[in-house]
């Protein structure tokens, strides 16, 4: 008689709940496969059940360079500070810390009426880059905030994108619309 491995119903339920939490934050299928021990088929079925559509296809982001550009760096730094704070101050595991930090990140950008620049999949990838020693944080020499940088980057004189904004920052259509509405309001006073 072949010996069957016993699979815990509670452990399976925890894995499904974890996958569901990632799916609700729009994580890609590859993230679910890496973070849970559920089969690809079950994850696809769960994704379809939660999102009422098939999971998106395609490769995951793989470059650290995206996190270095102006807006993505600010958003990535916000997420990473939240994530690292959760890891240091609680007994939470890495997967739940990623989900919780991402939810907190979304709350902050929503409160500030900013666009969500960082997706769950990119946030997860950022944590993996940190785990692999490819990225770290460093303090801005002006505001002292912690910002995401390449691990072996020279950071003695690092100034963040908030303290030294690029010349094209704020030149978006939305900022033009806000400027128009502010000028209109000033004319009516």
Encoded tokens for 90: 């609680």
130 and 86 co-located in one domain:
yes
Encoded tokens for 82: 């939240």
103 and 17 co-located in one domain:
no
23 and 75 co-located in one domain:
no
115 and 165 co-located in one domain:
yes
Is residue 187 in some structural domain?
Answer: no
27 and 76 co-located in one domain:
no
Is residue 116 in some structural domain?
Answer: yes
47 and 97 co-located in one domain:
no
151 and 88 co-located in one domain:
yes
Average pLDDT over residues 140-158: 95
Q: Are 44 and 56 in contact (CB under 8 A)?
A: no
33 and 84 co-located in one domain:
no
Percent pLDDT > 90 in the chain is: 77
147 and 120 co-located in one domain:
yes
Is residue 114 in some structural domain?
Answer: yes
Is residue 26 in some structural domain?
Answer: yes
57 — pLDDT class (breaks 50, 70, 90): confident
Is residue 2 in some structural domain?
Answer: no
Percent pLDDT > 70 in the chain is: 86
pLDDT of residue 138: 97
Please give the model's pTM, rounded to 2 decimal places: 0.84
pLDDT of residue 119: 96
83 and 40 co-located in one domain:
no
What pLDDT digit, counting tens, does each position of 80-128 carry? 999 999 999 999 999 999 999 999 999 999 999 999 999 999 999 999 9
Domain, as residue range, for 26 = 9-51
Q: Looking at the 3D structure of the chain, how many domains does it have?
A: 2
Is residue 106 in some structural domain?
Answer: yes
Neighbouring residues of 129: CB distance < 8 A, sequence distance ≥ 6: 64, 67, 135
78 and 169 co-located in one domain:
yes
More confident position, 27 or 169: 27
Is residue 134 in some structural domain?
Answer: yes
């Amino acid at each position: 008689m072949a010996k069957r491995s016993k699979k815990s119903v509670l452990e399976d339920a925890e894995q499904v709940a974890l996958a569901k939490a990632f799916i609700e934050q729009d994580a890609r299928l590859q993230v679910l496969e890496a973070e849970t021990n559920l089969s690809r088929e079950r994850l696809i079925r769960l994704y379809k059940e939660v999102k009422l559509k098939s999971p998106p296809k395609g490769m995951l982001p793989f470059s650290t360079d995206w996190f270095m550009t102006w807006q993505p760096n600010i958003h990535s730094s916000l997420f990473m500070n939240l994530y690292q704070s959760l890891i240091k101050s609680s007994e939470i595991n890495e997967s739940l810390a990623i989900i919780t930090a991402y939810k907190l990140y979304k709350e902050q950008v929503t409160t500030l009426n900013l666009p969500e620049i960082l997706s769950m999949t990119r946030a997860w990838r950022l944590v993996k880059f940190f785990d692999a020693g490819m990225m770290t944080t460093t303090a801005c020499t002006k505001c002292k905030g912690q910002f995401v940088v390449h691990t072996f980057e020279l950071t003695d004189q690092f100034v963040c994108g908030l303290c030294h904004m690029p010349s094209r920052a704020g030149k978006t259509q939305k900022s033009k619309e806000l400027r128009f509405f502010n000028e209109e309001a000033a004319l009516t006073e």
